[in-house]
Chains A and B, each alone.
Chain A
Amino acid sequence: MTVTRINVGPVHPSTHGVIRLVVDLEGDTIVNVEPHIGFLHRGVEKLAESRMYMQIPPYMEKLDYVAPMSYNEAYVATVETAMGIQVSERSQYIRVILLELQRIASHLLSLGTLCNDIGQTFTAFMWAFKDRDIVLDLLQEATGSRMFYVNMRLGGLREDLPADFSEHTLNTMDYLEKRIPEYVAYLEKNPIFTERMKGIGVITRDEAKQLGVTGPVLRASGVNYDVRRSNAYYVYSKLHFTPKSLQDGDNFSRYKVRILEIQESVRLVKSALKALPEGNAKGMQVKLRSPNPVNRISVVNRELPKGECMMYMVADPQKPYRLSIRSPSFINLAAINHMAKGERFADLFGILGTLDIIMGCVDR
């Protein structure tokens, strides 16, 4: 049979962001997928070399604009490691609470857009965005901003939590605990959804390890690897965090791992709020001159909603000499050819949806 070559994107309703996929088809079956990236490249790593240390967080937030705070925190933690600054215990707890709220928001968005892509049009999208807005309201209450927060400071945060935050968050978490089973019932009892998810886009355990994918994509393939446990930062070990993993490695398990992670994050937020100690949460004020770094090279890895991020920084006084970012989306995107080979063309967008890539993070 002849091979047809089809171009998808760079502007296509189902590609989140701008990515171009060149797809070779044999009939309706995918033979090869070749992603072309770089439509959002803006040279963050190069720009960081010409900025002072605390001028960089706003740039870091725009890497993954669905979960901005996670990248911001990873960068600030790198600078803290370079300068040898300790984070107070209360700040650690608050950071964990905010990061987990951010993870819930990110996974809800991924769920909503995924359902949009595979033809589960609009009900789940509306639900997910409504619940995401509720979580964003909490973050807005804590940081004063809706999407880009820039609230991490060296050694702590810009502001302590407001007075009512704990009560509001507990109420919202109770609501989400009741709400998530509704999503599960609505989606998993629907034969259209399960038919398009189960057994589609399989990536085996060995393939996943060889490709270096991380995050929910890796955990859906049966590898129980999570930086929050393997390299437990902050207070994750105190909160008895357990990573969630499934065995099948198909679209369905990637979706299901995200649902389980939302539930785990809800539990983490609740227990962190209960154990929240008193103390000082304010970090250093932003000044143009920052303390001189004590470590020339610092490496920090963090579990972002999309996967494992690693930041490598070579520090000069006042400015980074080099900042290198291992972005999880970029490496997860490399798996798309392995997942999509042999599937139908229409399932390509389900696979793209469950991969949950953010193009700002891929292109940098």
Chain B
Amino acid sequence: MTDNEIDTNSEEFMDSKKEMDKLVYESIKEKEVKPNAIFAKLSDLTRSMPVTKDVVNWARVNSMWPLQFGLACCAIELMDFGSSRIDAERKGYLLFRGTPRQCDVMIIAGWVTKSMVPEIKRLYEQMSKPRYVVAFGECATCGGPWWESYNIIKGIDEVLPVDVFVAGCPPRPENLFAALMKLQKKVGGNVEG
């Protein structure tokens, strides 16, 4: 038996299952479903199950939803990344969401001005955990050509924890594809070429 399999005959598992059954049975008996209680118990159950962890991770890795959020030039390449030539949807990247609450990845595409920092921070905090940040392009990585400018911060890593840096001014859309594959590997997926 490997670590990833669950011993369904174990005492621990049977106890948990019994508790679940009891909850469901009670809700049927009282003619009032208590989804919150059931889900809370379910998540307690799944947290201890290696198989379910793998399933959750598999789903997470294969549905990296980026936030629809562009700052400057690199955002044009971000749009191109979403269009037909690259076909990013085949890896599950391409569900650009308008609200940060549904997103996993934040792609910082462009230079970050001092007046944008509080907005970016707020968006990042609105994203549900686990959340990842990709610094796309020179400006988001280190300030780029604006390193002497009075209004640009020298890299988004001064503000947020960054998972993947992408070099280039602007990087090609293929580079973003490679960066997201790198991020998938980091999250724990076994991604093939």
Residue A133 lies at the interface, judged by CB distance under 8 Å to chain B = yes
Residues of B within 8 A of A360 (CB): 72-73
Residue B27 lies at the interface, judged by CB distance under 8 Å to chain A = no
Query: Closest chain A residue to B146 by CB distance?
Result: A42
Given known A41-B113, A133-B80, A147-B77, contact A62–B70 (CB-CB < 8 A): no
Residue B111 lies at the interface, judged by CB distance under 8 Å to chain A = yes
Residues of B within 8 A of A62 (CB): 72-73, 145
- Residues of A26-71 contacting chain B, CB below 8 A: 38-43, 46-47, 50, 58-59, 62, 65-66
Question: A112: shortest Cβ distance to chain B, in Å?
Answer: 8
Measured in the bound complex, the distance between the Cα atoms of B76 and A66 in whole Å is 7
Given known A129-B79, A147-B170, contact A18–B116 (CB-CB < 8 A): yes
The stretch from B12-20, B31-39, B148-156, B180-188 touching chain A is: B148-156
Residue B83 lies at the interface, judged by CB distance under 8 Å to chain A = yes
Q: Is the CB of A42 within 8 A of B111?
A: yes
Residue A144 lies at the interface, judged by CB distance under 8 Å to chain B = no
Which of B73, B83, B146, B172 is in CB contact (< 8 Å) with A125?
A: B83
Which of B68, B84, B123, B149 is in CB contact (< 8 Å) with A129?
A: B84
Residues of B within 8 A of A18 (CB): 71, 116, 119
- Residues of A1-42 contacting chain B, CB below 8 A: 10-13, 17-18, 38-42
Residues of A in contact (CB 8 Å), total 33
Measured in the bound complex, the distance between the Cα atoms of B111 and A59 in whole Å is 13
Residue A126 lies at the interface, judged by CB distance under 8 Å to chain B = yes
Main secondary structure of the interface of B (DSSP, over half): loop
Residue A179 lies at the interface, judged by CB distance under 8 Å to chain B = no
Query: Closest chain B residue to A130 by CB distance?
Result: B84
Q: Is the CB of A38 within 8 A of B170?
A: no
Which of A41, A66, A133, A147 is in CB contact (< 8 Å) with B83?
A: A133
Residues of A within 8 A of B9 (CB): none
Residue B165 lies at the interface, judged by CB distance under 8 Å to chain A = no
Measured in the bound complex, the distance between the Cα atoms of B80 and A132 in whole Å is 9
Query: Closest chain A residue to B71 by CB distance?
Result: A18
Q: Is the CB of A43 within 8 A of B84?
A: no
Measured in the bound complex, the distance between the Cα atoms of B173 and A132 in whole Å is 14
Which of A39, A41, A109, A126 is in CB contact (< 8 Å) with B76?
A: A109
Residue B161 lies at the interface, judged by CB distance under 8 Å to chain A = no
Question: A340: shortest Cβ distance to chain B, in Å?
Answer: 21
Query: Closest chain B residue to A133 by CB distance?
Result: B85
Q: Is the CB of A39 within 8 A of B123?
A: no
Main secondary structure of the interface of A (DSSP, over half): loop
Query: Closest chain B residue to A55 by CB distance?
Result: B145
Q: Is the CB of B71 within 8 A of A17?
A: yes
Residue B2 lies at the interface, judged by CB distance under 8 Å to chain A = no
Given known A62-B73, A65-B73, contact A148–B115 (CB-CB < 8 A): no
Residues of A within 8 A of B150 (CB): 43, 46
- Residues of A194-243 contacting chain B, CB below 8 A: none
Given known A10-B116, A58-B145, contact A146–B85 (CB-CB < 8 A): no
Q: Is the CB of B145 within 8 A of A147?
A: no
Q: Mark A263-288, 1 if CB is under 8 A from B, else 0.
A: 00000000000000000000000000
Q: Is the CB of B85 within 8 A of A130?
A: yes
Q: Is the CB of A39 within 8 A of B116?
A: yes
Question: A300: shortest Cβ distance to chain B, in Å?
Answer: 23
Measured in the bound complex, the distance between the Cα atoms of B110 and A360 in whole Å is 10
Measured in the bound complex, the distance between the Cα atoms of B150 and A46 in whole Å is 10
Residues of A within 8 A of B84 (CB): 126, 129-130
Given known A17-B70, A50-B148, contact A147–B76 (CB-CB < 8 A): yes
Given known A65-B76, A129-B79, contact A42–B123 (CB-CB < 8 A): no
Question: A59: shortest Cβ distance to chain B, in Å?
Answer: 6
Residues of B within 8 A of A41 (CB): 113, 115, 151
Q: Is the CB of B73 within 8 A of A11?
A: no
Residue B169 lies at the interface, judged by CB distance under 8 Å to chain A = yes
Residues of A within 8 A of B111 (CB): 40, 42
